[in-house]
Amino acid sequence: MSLYQLERERDLSELVETLRRSDDPSIRRRAAEIIGGLFENEAFEQSDLVLEREGSGGPAIGVPDAADAETVIDVLVSVVKADDDEGVRAAAIDALDHHGQDAIERVVYELSEKDIESATDWVAARAFADVLDDEKPELRMAAATGLGRVGDPSVTAAVVARLSDPDARVRARSATACGRIGDPRAVGALESRLSDDPDIDVRVAAADALGEIRTEAALGVLLASADDASESVRRVVAGALGQFGSVRPIDALVDYLEDGSETVRRTAMYSMVEILSNAPPQRSHEVREAAADRLGGATADEVIPPLSEILTESSGTPQRRNAAWLLGRVVGPEHGSVAREALLAALGDDDGMTAQFAATSLTRLDGSGLEADLLALVRDGEADREARSKALFVLGKVGGDDARAALGEFVDRTDDDGLREGAFSALSKLGGIGGGGPR
C-alpha cells in the first residue's frame, strides 16, 4: 500500500512499520512526516497510540498494531537516536514536536539523561538551554524545539545563537523557535537567515518566524525578501504577510498575483483576505478600500477563483465576509460564472453579514444568467428561506422584464408572508407589476 493510501486511511500501524523497516530513507522520512501530521490534526488521542504486543490475539478495535509492545513515541525516539539518515531523524523530531512538549522532553532525556518531566516551564527552559551547545545535532534540534514550545523570552539570546549553528537542521528549528517565542529581539538574526542562508528550509523557517513575530521591523524584512529566488520561500513570505493587519503588505501581495507559481498566487490571495480580516476595526474601511483599489488592476484569473474558493470553503467567518465583499469589486467578465455561483451559495450563509455582503456583491455583477439563477432560487421551496429573501433583494436591483413577470406570479402563489413582502419590495424597485418605470 502506498504512503498516500496509508495517510488517507490514517493507518498509523502501517506507517509506524514503514518508518521502522523501509530501506528507502525518503520513504522513512515521508512516513515520519505523515505520522507528525496525524498528531497535529489530533486524529488520534494519546491513549489510542499504545500498540499491542505481538501474539496477544490482535489489537482491540481502533488500536493500531505493531511489534514489540512499542508505542509510536518509542518508535520515533528510537529513530531520532539510531536512524542513519539525518533527514529521517529530523522528521522524527518534528513528528514528536507535533505530539507535544512531553514527547520533546522524552527525546532530550534519551539523548542527554536530563530528566525534565513534570518540570515547571522556567525549569524546563533552563534545562533545554543547557543542552543547546551539545555535540549531538539531534539534541540541539530537540532543545531548540522544546524552547519554542515553552516560549520563555528569557532564553531568546540562547536560541538566536543557534541560528548560526553549523547544522542547517538546527538553524531551521531555532528559527521556528524564535517565531513561537515571539520576541522582537530575534528579528535582526532572522533577517540574516532569510537573506543569506544557503539552505532553503532555514530561509522558509525564518520567513515563517517573522510572520509570527508581527512587528513593523519583521514586516519590513519580509517585504525586502518578497522576490526570493525560491518558490518555497516566496510562498511562505506571501503567507506570512497575511499576519499583518495593515496596508503595507498589499502592494507586495498584488505583485505576487503575477508570480509564476500558482501556489504562490493562491497563497497571496488568501493573505490578502487575511489582512482584511486582521485589520483593526478603526482601520478596517481604509484597508478594505486599499485592497480593492490595488486589486482593480489584477486579472480575473488571478483573483476570482481563489476568492470564490475562500467564500465557499473557508471555515472562518471574517474570511468569508471579506471574500464576498471583494468579489463584488474586482470581478470582470472572465470567470463571472464562478463568482456568481459562489455568491449565490453564500446567500444562505449562517453568518448574516456574509450573506448580506454576497447579496450586495451580486448586485454589482455583469453578465447573462444572473437573473435566471436568482429566480430559480426564489422559486425553490426547498432552499434556505433567508437565501431566497436575499435573492429577492438582488432581483430588485438587477431584474428586468422577466423578473417583473415572474415576481408578479410569485406574489400570487406564495404562502410565505415574508417572501411575499420581499417580492413586493423588489417589484416596486423595478417599476411595479407590468410597469417599466425608472429603477
Residues 167, 168, 171, 173: is their CA dihedral positive or negative? negative
pLDDT on residue 50: 42
What are 168's three cell numbers?
542547517
Burial class, 260, CB count within 10 angstroms (exposed 0-12 / middle 13-18 / buried 19+): exposed
- Report how far apart, in Å, the C-alpha atoms of 345 and of each of 120, 313, 341, 385 are: 50, 11, 6, 13
pLDDT on residue 117: 66
* Of 366, 291, 280, 364, residue with least CA distance to 322: 291
Range of the domain at 280: 238-298
pLDDT tens, position by position, 96-132: 999 888 889 899 989 988 777 656 777 788 889 999 9
Helix (H, G, I), strand (E, B) or coil at 52: strand
Provide the mean pLDDT of the chain: 88
What are 246's three cell numbers?
495593515
pTM of the model: 0.82
Q: 433583494: which residue's cell?
A: 393
> Using 50, 70 and 90 to split pLDDT, how confident is the model at 39?
confident
Establish if 324 belongs to a structural domain.
Answer: no
Establish if 194 belongs to a structural domain.
Answer: no
* Of 89, 99, 49, 95, residue with least CA distance to 69: 49
Q: Does residue 434 surpass a pLDDT of 60?
A: no
Q: Does residue 47 surpass a pLDDT of 60?
A: no
Q: Does residue 340 surpass a pLDDT of 70?
A: yes
Helix (H, G, I), strand (E, B) or coil at 65: strand
Domain count, the chain: 1
Q: Does residue 213 surpass a pLDDT of 70?
A: yes
> Using 50, 70 and 90 to split pLDDT, how confident is the model at 285?
confident
> Using 50, 70 and 90 to split pLDDT, how confident is the model at 333?
low
* Of 69, 71, 133, 64, residue with least CA distance to 99: 71
Establish if 348 belongs to a structural domain.
Answer: no
Establish if 185 belongs to a structural domain.
Answer: no
Establish if 142 belongs to a structural domain.
Answer: no
How far is the C-alpha of 370 from the C-alpha of 363, rounded, in Å? 10
Average pLDDT over residues 245-274: 93
What are 117's three cell numbers?
518531566
Instruction: Pick the range with the lowest mean pLDDT from 25-39, 144-158, 320-334.
Output: 320-334
pLDDT tens, position by position, 51-76: 433 334 443 333 344 333 357 899 99
For residue 341, give every residue at least 6 positions away whose Cβ sits within 8 Å of its Cβ, in sequence order, or none: 308
pLDDT on residue 156: 95
Establish if 268 belongs to a structural domain.
Answer: yes
Establish if 275 belongs to a structural domain.
Answer: yes
* Of 182, 250, 246, 254, residue with least CA distance to 211: 182
Q: Does residue 292 surpass a pLDDT of 70?
A: yes
How far is the C-alpha of 386 from the C-alpha of 176, rounded, in Å? 45
Q: Does residue 436 surpass a pLDDT of 70?
A: no
Residues 95, 96, 98, 99: is their CA dihedral positive or negative? positive
Establish if 288 belongs to a structural domain.
Answer: yes
pLDDT on residue 329: 85
Average pLDDT over residues 221-225: 97
pLDDT on residue 343: 96
